[in-house]
Amino acid sequence: MKQKIYRRGRFYRQDHPQTTVRLPEKGLRVPPCIPLVTQSSIKHPATLGLDRYPPLAGLSRLVSYFVLAQVLLLTGTAPATLGSDSYPPLAGSRLKPFLKKTNLFEAGKAGYATYRIPGIVVTTRGTLLAYCEARKSLQGDWGTIDIMMRRSTDGGKTWEKQRKIVNIEGEVTQNPVALKQNLAKEGEITINNPVAIVDHKTNAIHFLYCVEYARCYYMRSDDDGRTFTKPLDITETFEKFRSPANGGYESEPSVAGYDWKVLATGPGHGIQLKNGRLLVPVWLSTGTGGHAHRPSCVSVIYSDNHGRTWQSGHIVVANPNPVNPSETVSVQLNDGRVMFNIRHESKPRLRGISISSDGATNWSKIVFHEQLPEPVCMASIIRFTERPAHQKNRILFANPHNPDNRQRKNVTVKLSYDEGKTWPIAKSLEPGISGYSDLAVGPDGFAYCFYERASVDTSHYRPRYLTVARFNLEWLTDGKDHFK
């Protein structure tokens, strides 16, 4: 059969003349045998990676290359870039299992003893933003700490150099609860708990962080994380937690206001609900207990006007039920409700779950999930796919899977097909020492887990690396499930 290259807005393959692929813009079509690439990738034919795909013969091959280039110039950036050695080859019409790890931050480099508390998001333009705490010493959460970020515009193949994105101006009052417990030296200022939220309606990046676990600040980026606005102090939002109107909640109605001395956002990433609401889980402490982080409670702050103002939600749970709840992660369920997945120190050592209809109020009584062991560590959760845009509902979860004790090891990625009720798929990402993690999902269906790995000594509190792992659904499910 003679190959037809172009006819009436369609491209045809010689081996499958009825098979076409529609590009998302202008109704144009390209053959599945040729990868979609960005406009900048066509500077040299080799960047197309066509040697990996079924060849076209003679003049027809040259013509098809030319027409493909014209399609790309007309449509702009395509959904995915393939054909690089850093990306997995196609196996027929499905991807092969793929996993690649890249160390983004290393202890002892750039003047910092260690890097901790990873967070990662994918912007609406597909840019990866990986951020963390850069700690000058190994002493813990209350030393001199800065916030660092790295960007990748090619799906994690290359990364910009790390840069400090928060600069403190003027004098800062140290938190007296830390000084009282000798957790910090005079003059040591901590900038902590960075949280980014991608706004899918405005394309902005909202960024929150805390100073001295005493004040909270908000910044915004409108250029994909290249620059951020001047920080705005939003601590007044947390002052509302002292009011009985926000203190009471279903499981412990006796709590009437929370007189906090320590506040913390996230960490990890916040979420945007389908109605546009921005959500950031937070935890608060009176600062009288261990590490000045205990006892504690969990709540949420939210914005209904794209970050211009922030409101406080109801307290979700508070010590002692469960004991010292803190770092919490969130996901919106397919029916619109919001699920919180909560770190705590109670037995049984299982992650706590609470659900709200609006992500701010009327939280359900906490339950403990038997498939999610809790070694008392930050975790991460994220929507992977959702019907009807995809064939299945999928949610990813990651934390150190260790049902035996509190040692942080064996960071494992888990997959749920029923909105977090069960987690039938689990695969170890890092069997050794590994702790905090955050998850993100790219537009091409690849997922990213940014996590603490290895140790500068033997302590899981002092990671040697912050590593980003890029993987696909085929790796997670051993080829049994595919992104569609």
| pLDDT tops 80 at residue 38 | no
User: How do residues 204-259 score in pLDDT, each as one tens digit?
Assistant: 999 999 999 999 999 999 999 999 999 999 999 999 999 876 544 444 433 458 99
| pLDDT tops 90 at residue 61 | no
- Give the residue among 431, 428, 429, 434 at the shortest CA–CA distance from 464: 434
User: How do residues 372-419 score in pLDDT, each as one tens digit?
Assistant: 999 999 999 999 999 999 999 999 999 999 999 999 999 999 999 999
CATH architecture assigned to 99-476: 6 Propeller (2.120)
What is the pLDDT at residue 88? Answer: 52
pTM to 2 decimal places: 0.82
Mean pLDDT to the nearest integer, 306-323: 97
Mean pLDDT to the nearest integer, 56-81: 40
User: What are the domain boundaries of the chain?
Assistant: 6-84, 99-476
Q: Does residue 287 contact residue 232 with C-beta atoms inside 8 Å? A: no
Q: What is the mean pLDDT of the chain?
A: 84
User: How do residues 426-482 score in pLDDT, each as one tens digit?
Assistant: 999 999 999 999 999 999 999 999 999 999 999 999 999 999 999 999 999 999 999
What is the pLDDT at residue 243? Answer: 81
